[in-house]
């Protein structure tokens, strides 16, 4: 058996999660995301999609069950080690972007490289420096005009902010990208360009992608489509 088969990008076993004493929102017996796989996860509002992403991203602690990322038992790590693992290995594209208004366009994109020498080295190997890699990604996302003036990120449109957040998630070739409704603010043409970049960058880096959306029209772009209600024994909340 190969290392890829032994150590998938994500392995979940007997995972349950509830808010305080409420009925469990998530109860997942078994789930695997293979290395290099691009998976579309769908589910209605309230089904627990964002909660699952927060568990995988280390924002929420795993209290019951097993969550393994690239062979590392993520649920057993301390908060500090989860934070460092996320910085080194996971690119997160938040639904609310989480850009820092006091940083420049480029500084927002290269932020992961400030926290991870591993991603800084990968960005430097790709383009010569993290700053040059940020330029490359932003140009591919059709933000070259913004690079000339470098306005504060708060002055960008919602769609432009979303693309900056995508570049930040991709920089440094993290092994796993998790994306929460990343196309919700994009028009059709920009959305297609965004998806082309996201999927092609993942293929080039052999990264895995867990893409969460309620927009089922996007599902044909992906290797596999999974409904959270299919794997969550709790079902929709």
pLDDT tens sequence across 201-214: 888 888 999 999 88
SS3 state at 124:
helix
| Residue that has been written with the tokens 């092609």 in this structure | 200
Rounded to whole angstroms, how far apart are CA atoms 142 and 163?
Answer: 9
**Topology of 36-62+77-231 in CATH?**
Rossmann fold (3.40.50)
Instruction: Note the pLDDT of residue 71.
Output: 87
User: Which residues share a beta bridge with 13?
Assistant: 30, 66
> Does the structure show a pLDDT above 80 at 1?
no
pLDDT in tens, 75-112: 888 888 989 999 999 999 887 788 998 888 899 999 99
| Residue that has been written with the tokens 């089904």 in this structure | 47
pLDDT in tens, 8-63: 999 999 999 988 777 888 999 999 999 999 999 998 777 888 889 989 988 888 88
SS3 state at 185:
coil
pLDDT in tens, 112-133: 999 999 999 999 999 999 999 9
Q: Which among 54, 134, 140 has a CA at the least distance from the CA of 90?
A: 54
User: Which residues share a beta bridge with 15?
Assistant: 28
Written as six digits, the tokens of 64 are: 């019951």
Mean pLDDT over all residues of the chain?
87
202's CB contacts (< 8 A; 6+ apart) are 36, 38, 177, 208, 209
């Amino acid at each position: 058996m190969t290392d890829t088969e032994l150590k998938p990008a994500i392995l979940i076993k007997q995972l349950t999660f509830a808010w305080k004493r409420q009925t469990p929102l998530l109860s997942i017996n078994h789930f695997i995301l293979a290395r290099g796989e691009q998976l579309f996860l769908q589910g209605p509002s309230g089904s627990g999609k964002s909660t699952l992403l927060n568990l995988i991203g280390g924002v929420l602690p795993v209290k019951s069950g097993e969550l393994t990322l690239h062979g590392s038992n993520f649920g057993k790590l301390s908060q500090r080690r989860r934070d460092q693992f996320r910085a080194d290995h996971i690119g997160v594209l938040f639904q609310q972007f989480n850009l820092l208004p006091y940083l420049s366009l480029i500084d927002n994109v290269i932020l992961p490289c400030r926290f991870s020498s591993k991603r800084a080295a990968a960005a430097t190997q790709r383009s010569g420096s993290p700053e040059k890699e940020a330029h490359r990604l932003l140009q591919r996302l059709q933000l070259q005009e913004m690079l000339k003036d470098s306005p504060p990120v708060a002055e960008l449109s919602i769609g432009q902010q979303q693309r900056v957040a995508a570049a930040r998630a991709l920089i440094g070739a993290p092994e796993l990208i998790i994306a929460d409704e990343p196309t919700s603010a994009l028009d059709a043409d920009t959305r297609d360009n965004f998806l082309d970049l996201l999927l092609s960058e993942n293929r080039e880096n052999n990264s895995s992608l867990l893409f969460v959306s309620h927009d089922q029209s996007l599902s044909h772009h992906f290797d596999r489509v999974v409904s959270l209600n299919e794997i969550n024994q709790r079902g929709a909340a």
